Amino acid sequence: MTPNNIWDIEGARRKRLIVGRGPGSGHGKTCGRGHNGQRSRPGTGKISPAFIGGQNPLNKRIPKKGFNRNAKIKRLEVINIKNIIYFIKKGRLDATQPITIKSLFLCGALSKVKYGVKVLGKGAEELSTLGYPIHLEITDASQTVINAVKNAGGSVTSVYI
């Protein structure tokens, strides 16, 4: 096999449709766009499915009622305890000092913190493999984490509420 006899598989490339070349081509005159209307004219692009054709759209005609309760909820960033253990084992978190939200952010365990941090209990059984207690100073923690950290001899302090 040489460079001059390499070709694509059958059907890998589709031939460009040539339109507007007379009635014999099958795509002459209106070029497959039909007669009049918005889609027959150039530059219209795709139309939104909500477009009704000149009238005031349905989403503008219907009155807006109520409010979104979820918009007012301050959502906490979540992290599993196994991720904290991973960063401790890698040496990016110092377990001798209390683990705060700032230290979690600076070591790269969290990319952003807007309202606070909640620690969840996935991987809580790995705390016994550390061999020393950890002290958490975070916004919230699940009951599994609180029990696991206290059994390992550490503490969980709820701050920045």
How is residue 103 written in tokens?
């230290």
pLDDT band at residue 161 under the 50/70/90 scheme: low
Could you tell me if 136 and 155 are in contact, meaning their C-beta atoms sit under 8 angstroms apart? yes
What is the reported pLDDT for 153?
92
Q: How many CB atoms lie within 10 A of CB 158?
A: 13
pLDDT at 128 over 70: yes
pLDDT band at residue 108 under the 50/70/90 scheme: very high
| CATH 3.30.43.10 fits domain 77-158 | no
Could you tell me if 98 and 135 are in contact, meaning their C-beta atoms sit under 8 angstroms apart? yes
Q: Name the helix (H) or strand (E) containing 120.
A: strand 117-120
